[in-house]
Amino acid sequence: MNRNQVELKFPKFGLLIPVAIVLIIFFVKSTVTINSGEAGVLYKTFDGGVVTDKPPLGEGFHIVAPWNKVHIYEVRQQELFEKMKVLSSNGLEIQIDASAWYQPVHNELGKLHQVLGENYLQRVIQPAIRSAARSVVGRYTPEQLYSSKRDAIQDEIFAETKKILETQYVQLNEVLVRDVTLPSTIKEAIERKLKQEQESLEYEFRLVTAQKEAEKQIIEAKGKADANKILSASLTDKILQDKGIEATNRLANSNNSKVVIIGSGKSGMPIILGNQ
């Protein structure tokens, strides 16, 4: 009797195991965890597909119907590094190393998923930056790219790429041109030309400096000559005699020993002889 009772209870307990497994699978299929820096796009299998009229699912734990799907995207800023070979204005091949900082537009993540999909980087961002780089670099000569125009092409590539991506649900934050590589022969020729220009500028600077120094000396000499001419014109014989008399009086009143011979000098000026 006891044995039969045990046999009757065992099948009932055995049914719980598959039911529990089904419930566990149902629960796992119905939950999704979105990590920091991510967002989820909900796809409703029986209710219109991709949800585009509501914000995407945010970070944390979510429960969804098991027949629906959640596509997770990274919404933090990301970096794309590109090595591009483009042509300058005179047809020479130039290599540009550039980085683009981008991220999907958070509130339009559903549209991004619906229109472009998870590989939106390859579909729109890379073609956009390559097209912009070809367009911008084609306006400049290798000399301009090597010397003074690197910041300009960086800003122009950013502006053109951003314009292309405005309607693609992607936000472009920055484009950085890390390096511009020219053919070695062109680079050497440009460096020689720049060196010659620098030497020429230095030589012109030395010439201008020497000329200014000469002009300064001429002006100073002319000033001295004019001063001496004015002084000589003002020193008449009468003035010299008066000055001589004043000096004689001062020396005669001093305590120093001396011999004054009156009227023996030129123009009747006294000659003073003494120990000092």
Burial class (CB in 10 A: 0-12, 13-18, 19+), 161: buried
* Tens digits of residue pLDDT in 56-79: 999 998 888 888 899 999 999 999
Instruction: Please compute, for residue 139, the number of CA atoms within 13 A of its CA located in the half-sphere on the CB side.
Output: 11
- Give the count of beta carbons closer than 10 Å to the beta carbon of residue 157: 27
- Note the pLDDT of residue 10: 47
pLDDT value at 250 more than 50? yes
Distance CA 79, CA 147 (A): 26
pLDDT value at 123 more than 60? yes
Is the overall model pTM greater than 0.75, yes or no? no
DSSP string, 47-111: TTEE--SSPPB-SEEEE--TTSEEEEEE-S-EEEEEEEEEE-TTS-EEEEEEEEEEEE-GGGHHH
- Note the pLDDT of residue 119: 94
Q: Are 41 and 56 in contact (CB under 8 A)?
A: yes
Percent over 90 (pLDDT), the chain: 36
* Tens digits of residue pLDDT in 170-205: 999 999 998 888 877 675 666 566 656 665 666 676
Mean pLDDT of 21-37: 73
Token output for 76: 């933090």
Give the H or E element holding residue 231. Answer: helix 184-234
- Note the pLDDT of residue 98: 93
Distance CA 198, CA 223 (A): 37
Domains present along the chain, CATH in parentheses: 2-74 (no CATH), 78-182 (3.30.479.30), 241-274 (no CATH)
Select the more confidently predicted residue: 28 or 12.
28
